[in-house]
Each structure stands twice: as structure tokens, then as C-alpha cells.
Amino acid sequence: VQATWHQPFSSCWRPGLRARPSPQGAGASALGAMAREEMALPLMMALPLMYYSLMRCGRSLVLPAGRRGFREIRAIYDDETVRVYQAYNDAIADAAVAGNSFRAPMERGLWSPRRMTWIKPSAVWMAYRCGWTTLKDRNQARVLALDVSRPGFEQLLMGATLSHGPREGKRRDRAVVVQWDPERVMDPRATPEEVFTKKLVNVRSIQIGLRGESVQTLLNPSFVRRVTDVTPAFRAAVGALSGSPPDLEAAGALLWPRPEVELPVPAALRAALEMDCSGE
């Protein structure tokens, strides 16, 4: 899916721009030009403030098609569940899928609820993080999709603290940490370090860090409803991206069995996650 970019405000205005003379005579032309310049001056002075204000509140003037928000949660979801992803080694993945739970790998000493873990709803971000399961280390050789309770997901986030911002110093005391990172999209022309993805610098994707008691929620069957091994889909998608010629449409169809769209977020949760102001 290719983005269509709107022109930034700065491309529509240049310092020193002057009005064209009026055809109604030199005197009228001069007076008209002076009036127009007097009216234009406050506007020109206000433009940088307008631009800064919009950027500050998370609405860049350069937006991709669909006018995506600066901070948003995009996911595969329905009324009951939200899909998030994690990458694991073969042993943990096999045990978790077989038991539809992380209790089995925990009981075998393969998985520990005492370690901090990160979940993310963006499939492309997961692909970047694990190198599509084939381009990085063996401990990220498998991707599991966790369909978690939607009310539980929202409740988990209500107790989160942000990794950057005024509350940054308190994050070590919190069981849930939220980090807003630049969204990533598939790009067959990207460098090997970017693993067939690129940043969307004006869109932020949510990363959710769990530690302590919050990791225990992954053992709760009322929270984690389904554990699905989606590794074959990730590997097939990168195969389409790296093919000759690359097939971006096929890669998208393989990666997303259903559309990954913006999740409606209640107002209280939007405020808690500071979704309507970038803070940058």
C-alpha cells in the first residue's frame, strides 16, 4: 500500500512574495499592493506558530493517504479481541501453541513471567523487530499472534506509563510501559538493516512492555484467548517482498488475513496514552 503525501505548508509560501500590480492604474495598484502586504504580514508571522502548534499536538501537515493520526493503535480486532504479536524461539513457540497458553512453556522452564516482554499490534513492526523470523537471531525464529481480550487490553493500557515525557521517571515503578515508535511499512527497496521496511516518521505505532504482575496476564486464559503460529505467513510475505520482481500486494495479503485498521480508543484511554499530543 503506497502512501500519498500532502504538500507541507512551507511549500505554499515563500518569504519575499509580493502581490502582482493591479491593472487599474499605478496609484490604485500601489495602494492595493500596500493593503495586501499589510494583511499578509500577520498571516506570515502566524504561520510558523500554526505549524509548531499542529506538530506539537500530533497532526503533521504532511500526512499519508487516509490522514492517519500521529499516535494511533492499528490492529486486527473484533468486538471481543485485539491481535498482538511476539517473537520466540522454536521451543517456546511449540509449547505455547500446543497448549494455547504460556503455562506449558513456563512449567518446562522455557518461559519466565519474571522477564520483561514486549507485545505489539503492528505486524510490520513485528517483522522489522524479528527480521521476518529469518534475518535475525534464532530466539526470534517464530512469531506468535495472541488474540487477547479487548476489554482486558484497554484495562492493561489504562495503567501504563509512557517511556518518554513528564512521567518518564516513574516508568520503573509501572508494570506496563508504552513506547510510541515510528510506524513501519513494507518496502522492497529498503536496505538490509531495514529488513524490507521503512519508517513513517510522522506516524507512531504503539509498543507495549510488560513486567512483573502484568506479565502474569499472559497466563490468564480469559485474557489470551488464542495463540496462533503465524511464522509461515511472515516468511511467505518476505519471500514476496524479496522476489524478482517484488510483489508488495501479495506480501500484504499474506501478512494480513484481515485488515489491520485503526482501533477506536475511549477518550479516557486516549488521554492516558497522550494520543492527541505528540509531546515532541
Same domain for 249 and 213: yes
Same domain for 132 and 236: yes
Q: How far apart are CA 164 and CA 180, in angstroms?
A: 9
Same domain for 173 and 86: yes
Same domain for 262 and 225: yes
- Strands (E) in 153-212, as ranges, are 161-162, 176-186, 197-210
Same domain for 53 and 93: no
Same domain for 161 and 52: no
Tens-binned pLDDT, residue by residue, of the chain (280 aa): 333 222 222 222 223 333 334 444 444 444 444 444 444 434 344 333 333 333 333 333 333 434 567 899 999 999 999 999 999 999 999 999 999 999 999 999 999 999 999 999 999 999 999 999 999 999 999 999 999 999 999 999 999 999 876 555 455 668 999 999 999 999 999 987 899 999 998 899 999 999 999 999 999 999 999 999 999 999 999 999 999 999 999 999 999 999 999 999 999 999 999 998 654 5
pTM of the model: 0.74
Does 127 map to a domain?
Answer: yes
Q: How far apart are CA 17 and CA 4, in angstroms?
A: 28
Provide the pLDDT for residue 1.
39
Provide the pLDDT for residue 170.
54
Same domain for 250 and 144: yes
Set of cell numbers at residue 18: 509580493
Same domain for 90 and 39: no
Crossing angle of helices 248-255 and 231-241, in 10° steps, is 170
Does 92 map to a domain?
Answer: yes
Domain count, the chain: 2
The domain of 41 spans: 30-59
Which backbone phi and psi does 58 adopt, to 5 degrees? 80, 25
Same domain for 114 and 39: no
Does 145 map to a domain?
Answer: yes
Q: CB 32: neighbour CB atoms within 10 A?
A: 16
Same domain for 182 and 160: yes
Does 173 map to a domain?
Answer: yes
SS3 of 37-53: the string is: HHHHHHHHHHHHHHHHH
Same domain for 123 and 76: yes
- Contact present, 90 and 137 (Cβ < 8 Å): no
Provide the pLDDT for residue 278.
54
Same domain for 138 and 42: no
- Contact present, 90 and 141 (Cβ < 8 Å): yes
Task: Give CA 257 to chain center in angstroms.
Answer: 19
